[in-house]
Chain A
Amino acid sequence: MPEQNNPFRLLIVDDELAIRRFLTTILEDECSLHLAEGGHAALAAAAAVKPDLILLDLGLPDLDGIEVIRRIREWSSVPIIVISVRERETDKVAALDAGADDYLAKPFGVGELKARIRAALRRALQQTPEPLFVSGDLTVDLTARQVTRQGGAITLTPTEYDILRLLVTHAGKVLTHSQILKQVWGIAYLEQPHLLRVNISNLRRKIEEDSSHPQHIITEPGVGYRLK
């Protein structure tokens, strides 16, 4: 497969032949594919191929997927999307905290997978975030530190603004509780989730029309928050 015809290199790590075959079929027209069956092979391939994106299964025979993420993150910030049958929240949090960019539970739809791949690539290409974030009726101007809803300015506390800015700069990506706590309050506050809960609740009251139908700040139960 001539590489120059394909816009990006994709590394697929999964020990199931059926899954590799299926992913190859649906993705091979859009990118140059590289396959790995285990964790060590994945690490070697990540170094040799320097992929633009990695699809990683967590249940590998030789090395746990979380460990693979951790080792890759030691030297690379390549987007990693986890695809796993493990659907427990603790597994998601562990993968995201280790540095995965996204988490997709098997079985997933092809459309969903392609959308996640596109979003991850877009975020990776975008080195500096857009200074103006617009989503529905919400506008966040990062340069002017200004938040407006339906044209009207909203007053946020410094902490609320910090949370919102963090979510905006990672729009579409799930941020775990500890990631937000670490970035906004600092590493000493990791065990204080109520700070986050109270501030998110206040923030929602200010920027959401109906907090039981949130349009902007979406809760991923047991995992974290995501800005839509």
Chain B
Amino acid sequence: MTTIRPVFGYLGAILLVVLASLLCAAVHPYLAPTNMVMIFLLAVVLAATRLGLKPAILTALLSVVAFDLFFVPPRFSLRVEDTEYLITFFALFVVGVVISTLVARLGRQVAQVQRQEARTSCLYHLTRDLAGALDDNAVVEALRRAVDATLHADLRVVLYRDGVAVPLPSGGQRPSDDTDQPTIAWVIRSGRHAGAGTAAFADADATYLPIKSGGATIGVMVAAAGQAALRENRQLLDAFAAQAAMAFERVQLARDAEETRVLREKSHLEQALLNSISHDLRTPLVTIAGALDTLLAEDCPLGPAKRRELTITALDEASRLNRFVSNLLDMTRLEAGALTLRPEPCEIDELIGCAIGAVESRLGGRRIDTSLAPGLPPVTIDLPLLTQALVNLLDNALRYSPPTFPLTVSAHCSHQTVFIEVQDRGPGIPAGEEERIFDRFYRVAVPEQSGGTGLGLCIAKGIVEAHQGNITAANSTAGGLRVTLSLPAATPETLEEEA
């Protein structure tokens, strides 16, 4: 029902009576005065439907006066000749009031039904939105939309998981200050309503509703006072809270399931890791201990050449063991998240120079050709870590390609991304394994023992990805494996920031 300002309602009532009077004046010659009452009743009905209860009653009253004044003889006087007209006046007034009351009640009921309708549809929409909500924030967003649509109130949600408040986006204009902490704590403890419109903390400027799940209060909905504080809206808000509780519970369950899955996967991996470690650590030790034992033996039957060969083998195995331990340490740091990047702008040629410098002693006369596009932008990286990544790529290329062929390291830039490629002339990788070579302990099956740890590329991938970069491998058309790592170029802003 449209609400009209009272003064306009009363003015409308007067206008209606004037119009009815004019109409009656027009038909006066043809109509008996008693029948004009119908025209005035019409005015009352119109007032009741359009203007509301009180203007309608005013209309009835004025109608009686106008009828008496203008149409009941003697005309233009309040005196009545025929006392029968008093009954007509009384009937006109009473019927007018009764009609007004009935019409007004009907209007209220229609409005009530419409409001109920709106709420039901809002609850329906909320349920639908919540079903699609995948995390806490989406649940809160859906709730806020629903409360805003029905009660035009701002909403804030405080959520507790395992006794710790979960950070959620703070709601609208309401400052997320901590002044209402005691109220929230009380609601959590008692599981009852608080704030405006309730018995507890009634002077607050918001209404606090518990979100209950499985008997425990897991959160609080804080709705800005206003419509939300009205008793008639409490049920709706409680319904919202109940829906929200279910949604939060579902989000929690989904997260628990995911955690369980990750844990299970992790324990599989750890088993594989342990198996591999025990193998990779023991094998070199067997060789070293065996060699030393043989050399120490009093009756060693070996000639000087054999002894030297044995010593060299032991030394090689020791360095392999050292490499493996270093890789394991890097790997552990990467996975334990103990890797703190200390990124600084760095030129590409410096990075490549560092990596080549680090493998120089292992090159044994092999060549590494470099081809760098001119004008490469700097990259913001942790130089020691990225050097390690590139060294691992070079090591891999050196190990899996024949010693007579050179390696190629090239770099170019496109679309604000710097690409660094390490290309060898080895056998490449079996088709379909391009992704797997970055897995832990993956080794390409090659006839001769290559002495790789199966960790180098995995570590390189971890380091590059920690830099928002990417690493891919493919067999190159020219033969051999090409590993490409890409890094975002340093933007002028990041360089300025540093300066």
Contacts and interface: CB of A to CB of B under 8 A. Distances in A.
B356 A107 contact: no
B384 A201 contact: no
Contacts of B318: 107
B346 A211 contact: no
A201 B466 CA distance: 26
A182 interface: no
A223 B382 CA distance: 12
A214 B357 CA distance: 8
Contact of A213 (B344, B370, B384): B370
A195 to B, nearest CB: 9
B498 interface: yes
A222 B342 contact: yes
Interface string A37-52: 0000000000000000
Contacts of A201: 347, 350
Contact of B353 (A89, A194, A213): A213
A36 B383 CA distance: 36
Contacts of B352: 212
A194 B384 contact: no
Given A107-B322, A221-B384, A211 B353 contact: yes
A222 B370 contact: no
B350 A219 contact: yes
Interface of A: 87, 89, 107, 192-194, 197, 200-201, 204, 210-214, 218-219, 221-223
Given A194-B499, A212-B349, A219-B357, 4 more contacts: A194-B498, A210-B370, A214-B357, A219-B350
Contacts of B350: 200-201, 204, 211, 219
A201 B382 CA distance: 17
Contacts of A221: 354, 383-384, 387
Contacts of A200: 350
B347 A222 contact: no
B495 interface: yes
Contacts of A197: 344-347
A157 to B, nearest CB: 18
Which among A201, A218, A221 has the highest number of chain B CB atoms within 10 Å?
Answer: A221
B15 interface: no
Contact of A212 (B344, B356, B384): B356
Contacts of B168: none
Interface in B188-221: none
Contact of B372 (A89, A212, A223): A212
Nearest to B498: A194
A201 B350 CA distance: 8
B370 A212 contact: yes
30 contacts: A87-B326, A89-B384, A107-B318, A107-B322, A194-B495, A194-B499, A197-B346, A197-B347, A200-B350, A204-B349, A204-B350, A211-B347, A211-B349, A211-B350, A211-B353, A212-B352, A212-B353, A212-B409, A213-B353, A213-B370, A219-B350, A219-B353, A219-B383, A221-B384, A221-B387, A222-B342, A222-B382, A222-B383, A222-B384, A223-B384
Which 4 A/B pairs are nearest by Cβ-Cβ distance? Answer: A222-B384, A221-B384, A212-B349, A211-B349
B interface, over-half SS? helix
Contacts of B356: 212-213
A213 B326 CA distance: 25
B347 A194 contact: no
A211 B351 CA distance: 10
Nearest to A88: B384
A193 B348 CA distance: 17
Contacts of B384: 89, 221-223
A195 B346 CA distance: 12
Interface in B257-294: none
Instruction: Output the residue of A87, A200, A222, A223 with the most chain B CB within 10 A.
Output: A222
Contacts of A211: 347, 349-350, 353
A29 to B, nearest CB: 20
A149 B350 CA distance: 20
B353 A214 contact: yes
Interface in B319-338: 322, 326
Nearest to B319: A107
A29 B409 CA distance: 45
A101 B349 CA distance: 27
A112 to B, nearest CB: 10
Contacts of B498: 193-194
A204 B383 CA distance: 18
Interface string B352-371: 11101100000000000010
A200 B353 CA distance: 13
A219 to B, nearest CB: 5
Contacts of A212: 348-349, 352-353, 356, 370, 372, 409
Nearest to B348: A212
Nearest to B387: A221
A219 B349 contact: no
B354 A219 contact: yes
A222 B348 CA distance: 15
Nearest to B321: A107
A221 B350 CA distance: 9
A194 B370 contact: no
B321 to A, nearest CB: 9
Contacts of B495: 194
A15 to B, nearest CB: 20
Contacts of A193: 344, 498
A210 B371 CA distance: 10
Interface string B76-110: 00000000000000000000000000000000000
Interface in B459-499: 495, 498-499
A108 to B, nearest CB: 10
A89 B387 CA distance: 12
